Amino acid sequence: MNSLISTPELLAPAGDFERLTAAVRFGADAVYLGGTGYGMRAASANFDFETLAKAVDFAHQRGVKVYLTCNSVPTNEEADGLDDYLRQAEQVGVDALIIADVGVMAAAKEVVPKLEIHMSTQVGIVNYRTANELYRMGAKRVVLARELSLEDIRTIRRNTPSDLELEVFVHGAVCMSFSGRCLLSQYIVGRDANRGECAQPCRWGYHLVEEKRPGQYFPLYEDERGSYILNAKDLCLIEHLGKLLDAGVTSLKIEGRAKSSYYVSVITNAYRIALDGFVRDPSWQVEPWLLDEVCKVSHRRYDTGFLFGRPEDGQYTENGGYLRNFDVVAVADKADGEFLFCTQRNKFSRGDTVELLEPGKRPFELRIAELYDGEGNPVEAACHPMMKLRIPFAGKVAEGAILRKQK
């Protein structure tokens, strides 16, 4: 029933226009983003329809598709405005809707029947019967649950129509609840995770309290900070993309609409290079520098999730925070063969050594022997946010290239 997808899609997150630009520049085939409602990232900047129209135009001019998230579970009040929202989405030219609710799916089929429907991971698709039923109902793509093994994915592919697209998450944060359908945030702080308002209480530190000993906290592990018993490690499958391609996956998805443009740039670039390598040669091996790249963004400790079976060590109990080893210090505007012109993001100084990362390339070190402001005056440090800078540089650099510094 199926055929192997030889050129799968790399799907990157876009929390705002800056992050969308980063995703497109660094190699995404498609981006997913949220509008002003019905999405699962209420705290993100998201896109109003005027900005969304510009985003779609920017992406389409560069051959990149745009998918709009409509994957929250709407209330009765929210359902009242759904038809108009879907019509506006179609008018601005999005390529597909990501949907988690069958009512929203039915509305989309009725109101905007030409728009592709992608069923969200929030649906919890773990078997081929569910995938086939959603296909029968009109889904073009299903985003499989993150709790599936590689063999589970193969089984779904073997037992579904070849034109039903399969999307899987390959990188990013993982929810401790099944496919992200969690009530913990709503129960503790009144913020509904199923409507994009998750406060991430699974990342908090916890102690045990005995009811007759109020105020006495008993750690679950011998650690004065308590235990982060619900804190899942981040997913990283960059070394295993070839296995997913062989299993027939259509789209490889990077999590992170709430992450920075730096994160989007680095992770998209690394997966673009890795994916192209596996497409050229299924026996290709990920080079060590690419494994270093995915560790140069803010992240929790990595594992492979459920890809090779139930994880034995999928939780990280020491802390709920991130590992941060690098800061982006500037973004390149252009280079004329004499100077690299850039815009400051964080402080750096003359004499520093930074790394320069361009789309599709391996990063290289650059020592800042001289540093000038936008008017060409020598300066000792770039210490003003968004200040324009010049750095002596003999080569060419792509717009949007990143200068970063190790902490």
Tell me, yes or no, whether 397 lies in a domain. yes
Task: Kindly give the residue spans of alpha helices, DSSP state H, lying in 26-149.
Answer: 49-61, 76-80, 82-92, 102-111, 128-137
Predicted confidence at residue 75, as pLDDT, reads 85
254 and 187 share a domain? no
Tell me, yes or no, whether 227 lies in a domain. no
Q: How far is CA 241 from CA 38, 248, 275, in A?
A: 31, 11, 7
Predicted confidence at residue 318, as pLDDT, reads 58
Among residues 189, 218, 247, the one where a domain terminates is 218
Among residues 270, 303, 336, the one where a domain terminates is 303
List the structure tokens of 254: 């990077």
Burial 243-263 (b: 16+ CB within 10 A, else e): bbbebbbbbbbbbbbbbbbbb
40 and 172 share a domain? yes
DSSP 163-186: TSEEEEEEEE---SSGGG---HHH
59 and 162 share a domain? yes
397 and 287 share a domain? no
Tell me, yes or no, whether 354 lies in a domain. yes
> CA-to-CA distance for 105 and 142, rounded, in angstroms?
13
Predicted confidence at residue 88, as pLDDT, reads 95
> CA-to-CA distance for 31 and 96, rounded, in angstroms?
11
> CA-to-CA distance for 73 and 84, rounded, in angstroms?
17
144 and 261 share a domain? yes
56 and 163 share a domain? yes
290 and 205 share a domain? no
Predicted confidence at residue 311, as pLDDT, reads 77
The pLDDT tens digits of the residues spanning 47-66 come to 899 999 999 999 999 999 99
Tell me, yes or no, whether 81 lies in a domain. yes
153 and 192 share a domain? no
CA 5 and chain centroid, separation: 22
pLDDT tens-place values along the chain, 407 residues long = 333 445 799 999 999 999 999 999 999 999 999 998 776 555 555 789 999 999 999 999 999 999 999 988 888 988 888 999 999 999 999 999 999 999 999 999 999 999 999 999 989 999 999 999 999 999 999 999 999 999 999 999 999 999 999 999 999 988 766 666 666 666 567 777 666 677 777 767 777 777 787 877 766 554 555 556 667 789 999 999 999 999 999 999 999 998 999 999 999 999 999 999 999 998 999 999 999 999 999 998 899 999 998 876 656 655 556 788 999 999 999 999 999 999 999 999 999 999 999 999 999 999 999 999 999 999 999 999 999 999 999 999 999 999 999 98
Among residues 256, 271, 303, the one where a domain terminates is 303
| CATH of residue 21 | 3.20.20.70
Tell me, yes or no, whether 320 lies in a domain. no
Tell me, yes or no, whether 318 lies in a domain. no
172 and 263 share a domain? yes
Q: In which domain, by residue range, is 172 found?
A: 9-177+233-303
118 and 88 share a domain? yes
Predicted confidence at residue 390, as pLDDT, reads 97
Residue type present at position 223: D
Q: Is the CB of residue 216 less than 8 Å from the CB of residue 120?
A: no
187 and 275 share a domain? no
What is the DSSP code (8-state) at residue 294?
T
Tell me, yes or no, whether 356 lies in a domain. yes
57 and 172 share a domain? yes
**Domains contained in the chain, number:** 3
Predicted confidence at residue 3, as pLDDT, reads 38
Backbone phi and psi for residue 99, each to the nearest 5 degrees, phi listed first:
-125, 145
Tell me, yes or no, whether 253 lies in a domain. yes
> CA-to-CA distance for 148 and 127, rounded, in angstroms?
9
Predicted confidence at residue 218, as pLDDT, reads 62
